[in-house]
RNA sequence: CCAGACGGCCGGGCGGUCGCGGGGGCUUCGGCUCUCGAGGAAAGUCCGGGCUCCACGGUGAAAAGGUGACGGGUAACACCCGCCGGGGGCGACCCCAGGGAUAGCGCCACAGAAAGCAAACCACCUCCGGCUUGCCGGCGGAAAGGGUGAAAGGGUGGGGUAAGAGCCCACCGCGGACGCAGCGAUGCGGACGGCAUGGCAAGCCCCGCCUGGAGCAAGACCGAAUAGGGAUCACGCGCCUUGGAGCAAUCCAGGGCGGGGCUCACCGCCCCAGUGGUCCGGGUAGGUCGCGAGAACCGUCCAGCAAUGGGCGGUCCAGAGGAAUGAUCGCCGCCGCCUUCGGGCGUGGCACAGAACCCGGCUUACAGGCCGUCUGGUCGU
RNA sequence: GGUCCCUUCGUCUAUCGGUUAGGACGCUAGAUUUUCAUUCUAGAAAGGGGAGUUCGAUUCUCCCAGGGACUG
């Protein structure tokens, strides 16, 4: 499952909306959405979202930083080329122990990978 | 030592390992390396400025909004300092939108006789009349007592009187010519007046002063692809109309321009509609700038009670754009619990909270801690 | 990021600084009806929080909190 596909950040709102309409997996403190772009490129793109519901700017920024770090560690191992991933922070993202957060992300990525 | 008042400051530290944003250097273009990288409130967006665009002949006025003792500070302020007045506290000290109520209008519920202009409900008193001999009625006097209220037209005491009343007197309060001190707000004294002038302007309003509008998503530059606009050239053409020649078919010259449908015309609406080239302008996505060497910070000296200002020396200190500080490990500090006093444990134990053009303020949030000055007690000398 | 607006019974909404804070829908109880619906009667139920002005504040002023709208 390992590959060396380049990873880019997702920045456009339409891309987020498309990913939200695709498959998603909720695991503990995180929701992961994944969409196959079907354009033939091996590029993997990833975006992060934290809404106002989970707290103020400090909480939202910290949640996105932890998710970004988790994605940096796990996406090269469990990501599928040609997909867009969106990580959505939930209320417990900032308080989850680091090992448990990694488990959540890993489990969600494996669930979303086609067999 | 206890309790308290005010002012200032910190707000975890050190070191590894992976990572992130900006800048510099090297590069065999894979990368390597050096360096910098959130706050006192970055927050709320409540004020004041810089900056940019728009509007505008100058000034003034009006409208609307803001502001309000006095003196100073400042680029400016509603901020700050000093001082005055009022209120609170034993005190250190704290709080106050703190101009004008004889410029005018308005309001003062309930209660009460009466709520703003001097009036009189009960009660008081002289006189007159009546009789049932202490009551009733009446002309007057007077405003001290009762009761209502947030507030009732000076207060207390004495004299005085039929009863009373600044009617008179003393003290207090009030107004106050004038004098003294002060830059001033104001303070002190006060002849005299003889009680007159209730409150609300964060009700309208009057007076003085201030303000053009918008905001970096301001604004400037570059600028695809696609669609569309304008100019021009070539091709492709016909149709309508005017004039002339001619018996006529037709020819020549000029002008204008698409076609279809809604029964015709005008108008209106709807549908469909040329090809290619060159040039121009607007402008979207996107990119670049605006964007950090300044009302800057540190040290020191001088002026000033202070806010603050000035001189000298030194430093360069974040610049993103779905938005950079995170993850993890060790030691120490603080806190809580347990303890066999060695120590151990703690789901993240350690606050409030994350720059987005930049400054000066205000306000609000904040675990824990440090320093200084002062006040009131208590103990000792 | 910027510019604005609004908070009153469970919900929607009235109020010249002085009331017991009014109305509608909903809720509860009773009556009418064989029962239900309808109708009638009665009742409970509210000023986002904190200061200030005032004799007195839902109303006026200030500061917070919460909610909402517009803007590429």
A115 in a structural domain: no
pTM above 0.80, yes or no: no
> Is A40 inside a domain boundary?
yes
Is A7 within 8 Å of A82 (Cβ atoms)?
Answer: no
Number of domains observed in the structure of chain A: 1
What ipTM describes this predicted complex? 0.80
A95 touches strand B (CB under 7 A): yes
- pLDDT at site A17: 79
| Residues A9-43 pLDDT 10s | 888 777 887 888 888 888 888 888 888 887 767 78
Domain interval for residue A26: 7-110
Q: DSSP for chain A, please give it.
A: ------EEE---HHHHHHHHHSEEEEETTEEEEEEE--SS---EEEEEE--GGG-SHHHHHHHHHHHHHHHHHHHHHHPPTTEEEEEEE-TTTTTS-HHHHHHHHHHHHHHHS--
pLDDT digits (tens, 9 = 90+) for A36-91: 887 767 788 888 888 877 878 888 888 888 888 888 888 888 888 888 888 888 87
In this complex, the answer to whether residue A52 has its CB under 7 A from any atom of chain B, a nucleic strand, is no
**Domain-embedded: residue A104:** yes
Nucleotide nearest to A55 (CA to C1'): B353
A72 falls within a domain: yes
CATH at A38: 3.30.230.10
Structural domain contains residue A101 = yes
Contacts of A55 (CB under 8 A, 6+ apart): A94
State the pLDDT confidence band at A3, using cuts at 50, 70 and 90: very low
Does residue A57 sit within a domain?
A: yes
The integer distance in angstroms from the CA atom of A41 to the C1' atom of B243 is 74
């Amino acid at each position: 499952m390992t590959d060396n596909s380049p990873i880019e950040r997702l920045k456009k709102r339409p891309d987020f909306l498309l990913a939200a309409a695709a498959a998603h997996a909720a695991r503990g403190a995180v929701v992961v959405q994944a969409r196959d772009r079907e354009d033939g490129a091996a590029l993997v793109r990833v975006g992060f979202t934290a809404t106002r519901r989970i707290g103020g700017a400090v909480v939202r920024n910290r949640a996105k930083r932890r998710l970004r770090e988790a994605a940096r560690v796990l996406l090269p191992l469990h990501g599928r080329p040609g997909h867009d991933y969106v990580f959505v922070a939930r209320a417990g993202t900032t308080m989850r122990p680091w090992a448990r957060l990694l488990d959540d992300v890993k489990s969600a990525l494996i669930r979303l990978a086609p067999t």
